[in-house]
């Protein structure tokens, strides 16, 4: 289907959909990535029943996260967060851009 709802014809074996879980670039002073991921994973878990067919047909949910930094920094993903991501069947992908300012 097109964004306006018109049929495209043919059968697609693969597709994707994307959505932003943050309003653009967010400095860590404003919101920690770890907190955003935990909140978002909790929202996905609330939809678990509706995602059963999606996963059963080979669907994958992936958080693609772009990180920018002008100096060394680190992230610690707690075991609680990792467990929540695993429960929600969310794959985590980090795309890191060192020595660049994303803001």
CA separation for the pair 36, 42 (Å, rounded): 10
3-state secondary structure of 2: coil
Mind listing the pLDDT tens digit for each residue in 29-79? 888 889 889 988 899 899 988 888 889 988 899 998 888 888 888 889 999
Contact 91, 62 (CB under 8 A): yes
Distant-in-sequence, close-in-space partners of 99: CB < 8 Å, separation ≥ 6: 69, 70
pTM of the model: 0.69
Return the pLDDT at 101.
55
- Calculate the average pLDDT of the chain: 84
Cα distances from 81 to residues 2, 34, 39, 68, 69, in angstroms, run 35, 8, 9, 22, 23
């Amino acid at each position: 289907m097109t964004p306006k709802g018109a049929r495209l014809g043919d059968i697609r074996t693969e597709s994707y959909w994307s959505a932003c879980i943050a309003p653009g670039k967010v400095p860590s002073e404003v919101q920690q990535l770890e907190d955003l991921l935990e909140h978002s994973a909790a929202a996905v878990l609330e939809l678990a029943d509706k995602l059963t067919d999606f996963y059963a047909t080979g669907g994958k949910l992936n958080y693609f996260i772009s990180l920018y930094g002008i100096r060394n920094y680190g992230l610690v993903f707690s075991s609680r967060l990792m467990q929540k991501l695993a429960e929600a069947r969310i794959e985590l992908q980090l795309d890191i851009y060192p020595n660049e300012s994303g803001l």
